[in-house]
Amino acid sequence: MTQRSSILSTAESRRPIVASAALDEFSRGGFHGTTVATVARTAKISPAYVFKLFPSKESLFVVALESCFAEIIEAIAQGADEAPEQTPEAILYAMGGAYAELISDRRLLMLQAHAMSVADIPEIGEALRAGLEQVTSFAKSRSGGSDDQVQSFVAYGQLCHLLVAARVDEHDTAWAQILSHGIRHPQ
Question: What residues does each domain of the chain span?
Answer: 3-180
Percent of the chain exceeding pLDDT 90 equals: 72
User: What is the helix (H) or strand (E) element at residue 122, kind and residue range?
Assistant: helix 122-143
Average pLDDT in the chain: 90
Contact assessment for residue 88 and residue 149, using Cβ atoms and an 8 Å cutoff:
yes
- Predicted structure pTM score: 0.87
Residue 107 reports pLDDT greater than 80: yes
pLDDT, position 57: 97
Q: What is the C-alpha to C-alpha distance for residues 66 and 170, in angstroms, rounded to an integer? A: 31
Q: Which has the higher per-residue pLDDT, 185 or 148?
A: 148
Crossing angle of the two packed helices 3-33 and 57-81, in degrees rounded to 10: 90
pLDDT, position 166: 86
pLDDT, position 98: 93
> Which residues, at least 6 apart from 89, have a Cβ–Cβ distance to it below 8 Å?
145, 149
Q: What is the C-alpha to C-alpha distance for residues 88 and 18, in angstroms, rounded to an integer? A: 37
CATH architecture of 3-180: Orthogonal Bundle (1.10)
Residue 119 reports pLDDT greater than 70: yes
